[in-house]
């Protein structure tokens, strides 16, 4: 569409949904532009992570998640959409276009939109209660509906192997990675910012080491953080795609948020243990279990959640480019 018919309030609704998407270290690496009633999701180069995400894979995953959140908001207005990944080959910053269509929105999207504000990245302990098997199946279905695969690992040799790979990756983090992360995780000016991960969102440290819980502030003393006992065996899931190019990363981002918000509806919370995906040979180790499915894009720790604080978000005015 070229002419605009959305009201300012509707545009605000869509943009507020889009900026609620998860991103690595809450960098919020996106900008938005209205093209009539279509929404362009653009990569913000100033918010990429050259050390931790040199090929912008996780940046594109975040932009894909923002596109899916926008789709939910359009649907809440009774509007159907489609996503065109990388619609302009000459504009590498244009990640995706959320395009208004004449089709009715998916029926499930209304309920998912209502759960969107409750989604959190959960760095605290989960409750010692199993995720119902039917809910895990709903989450697998959510991944399949977006053209991906959610490999759920609950126990056995594959579980132990993945935990060992996560631990190895944590031990192989470089000083450059930690220096880059310190700019986004409990940064000195956090009180004045509407991005990054503030100290209150880091969660406590595990009293007993566990590979499934990532300490984003490893090696740093965060006052008042404390320690506690974490769940003994969280579910771990690997989100996989059929390819490993920017279009596949955008697909992974849409699927990721669909999986997370589906889980949120039933009290399932998540955090991420993507350390091995940041190291090429360890990413291959994670992929070795998935050779019949695809390429690993996210490693997700899942469990029944508790109440945790929301990470901050920048206002719409800071992420919207003029038409």
CA-based nearest residue to 66, from 29, 102, 19: 19
Q: What is the pLDDT of residue 154?
A: 87
Check: CB of residue 229 under 8 Å from CB of residue 205.
no
Check: CB of residue 60 under 8 Å from CB of residue 73.
no
For every residue of 29-42, DSSP letters joined together read -EEEEEETTEEEEE
Q: What is the pLDDT of residue 1?
A: 39
For every residue of 89-125, DSSP letters joined together read TT-TTEEEEEEEESSPPPTTHHHHHHHGGG--B--SP
0.75 surpassed by pTM: yes
**Distance linking the first and last C-alpha atoms of the chain:** 14
Check: CB of residue 100 under 8 Å from CB of residue 74.
yes
Within 10 angstroms of residue 317's Cβ, the number of other Cβ atoms is 7
Q: What are phi and psi of 59, to 5 degrees?
A: -60, -45
Q: What is the pLDDT of residue 3?
A: 53
CATH class for the region spanning 8-119: alpha beta
Q: What is the CATH number of domain 133-304?
A: 3.40.109.10
Q: Which two tokens stand for residue 58?
A: 């996780």
Q: What is the pLDDT of residue 139?
A: 98
- Tens of each residue's pLDDT in the chain, 323 residues: 345 699 999 999 999 999 999 999 999 999 999 999 999 999 999 999 999 999 999 999 999 999 999 999 999 999 999 999 999 989 999 999 999 999 999 999 999 999 999 999 999 999 989 999 999 999 999 999 999 999 999 889 999 999 999 999 999 999 999 999 999 999 999 889 999 999 999 999 998 877 788 999 988 889 889 899 999 889 999 999 999 999 999 999 999 999 999 999 999 999 999 999 999 999 988 987 655 568 999 999 999 998 898 999 999 999 999 98
Q: Which two tokens stand for residue 72?
A: 């939910």
Listed in order, the ranges of the chain carrying CATH 3.40.109.10 are 8-119, 133-304
Rounded Cα distance between 189 and 242, Å, is: 40
Q: What is the pLDDT of residue 294?
A: 80
**DSSP-derived secondary structure letter, 70:** H
């Amino acid at each position: 569409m070229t002419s605009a018919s959305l009201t300012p309030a509707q545009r605000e609704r869509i943009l507020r949904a889009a900026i609620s998407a998860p991103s690595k270290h809450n960098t919020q690496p996106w900008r938005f532009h209205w093209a009539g009633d279509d929404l362009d999701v653009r990569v913000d180069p100033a918010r990429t992570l050259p050390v931790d995400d040199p090929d912008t894979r996780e940046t594109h995953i975040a932009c894909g998640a923002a596109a899916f959140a926008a789709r939910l908001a359009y649907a809440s207005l009774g509007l159907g959409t489609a996503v065109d990944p990388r619609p302009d080959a000459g504009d590498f910053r244009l990640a995706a276009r959320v395009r208004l269509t004449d089709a009715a929105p998916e029926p499930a999207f209304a309920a998912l939109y209502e759960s969107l504000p409750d989604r959190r990245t959960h760095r605290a302990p989960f409750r010692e209660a199993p995720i119902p098997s039917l809910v895990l199946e709903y989450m697998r279905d959510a991944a399949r509906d977006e053209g991906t695969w959610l490999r759920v690992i609950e126990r056995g040799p594959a579980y132990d192997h993945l935990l060992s790979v996560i631990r190895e990756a944590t031990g192989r983090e470089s000083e450059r990675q930690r220096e880059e992360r310190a700019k986004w995780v409990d940064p000195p000016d956090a009180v004045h910012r509407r991005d990054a991960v503030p100290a209150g969102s880091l969660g406590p440290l595990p009293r007993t080491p566990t590979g499934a819980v990532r300490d984003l502030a490893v090696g740093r003393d965060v006052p008042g953080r404390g320690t506690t006992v974490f769940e003994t065996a969280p579910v771990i899931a690997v989100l996989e795609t059929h390819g490993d190019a920017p279009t596949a990363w955008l697909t992974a981002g849409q699927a990721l948020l669909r999986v997370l918000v589906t889980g949120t509806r039933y009290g399932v919370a998540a955090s991420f243990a993507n350390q091995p995906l940041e190291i090429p040979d360890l990413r291959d180790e994670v992929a070795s279990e998935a050779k019949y499915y695809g390429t690993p894009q996210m490693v997700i720790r899942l469990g029944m959640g508790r109440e945790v604080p929301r990470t901050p978000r920048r206002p719409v005015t800071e992420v919207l480019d003029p038409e």
